């Protein structure tokens, strides 16, 4: 499983990802231009859990995750999506 923490900003997002099978940690910044975000999340093997901070500008990202087959679930401190 991959667990992703996502720090959303207007023009980019910073992603920290843990692969629980290997222990590998990856950090990456994705710009919101073109298909960068869509392509990144579409290529991840299942299962994936994505957590984001609850901000006013998060709805576009929540919608994108929904179109990619993630089932959203809300938490006390934020929002997470399971795939």
In three-state form (DSSP H/G/I as H, E/B as E, the rest C), the secondary structure along 44-83 is CCCCEEEEEECCCCCHHHHHHHHHCCCEEEECCCEEEEEC
The model's pTM is 0.72
Query: pLDDT digits over 41-80, tens only?
Result: 889 888 888 888 766 667 777 888 888 776 544 444 444 5
pLDDT at 23: 97
pLDDT at 58: 74
Q: How many domains does the chain have?
A: 1
Range(s) of the domain holding residue 16? 2-82
């Amino acid at each position: 499983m991959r667990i992703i923490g996502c720090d959303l900003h207007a023009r980019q997002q910073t992603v920290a990802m843990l692969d629980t099978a290997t222990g590998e940690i990856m950090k990456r910044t994705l710009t919101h231009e073109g298909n960068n975000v869509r392509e990144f999340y579409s290529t991840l093997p299942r299962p994936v859990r994505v957590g984001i901070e609850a901000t006013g500008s998060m709805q576009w990202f929540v919608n994108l995750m929904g179109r990619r087959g993630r089932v959203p679930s809300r938490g006390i401190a934020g929002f997470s999506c399971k795939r």
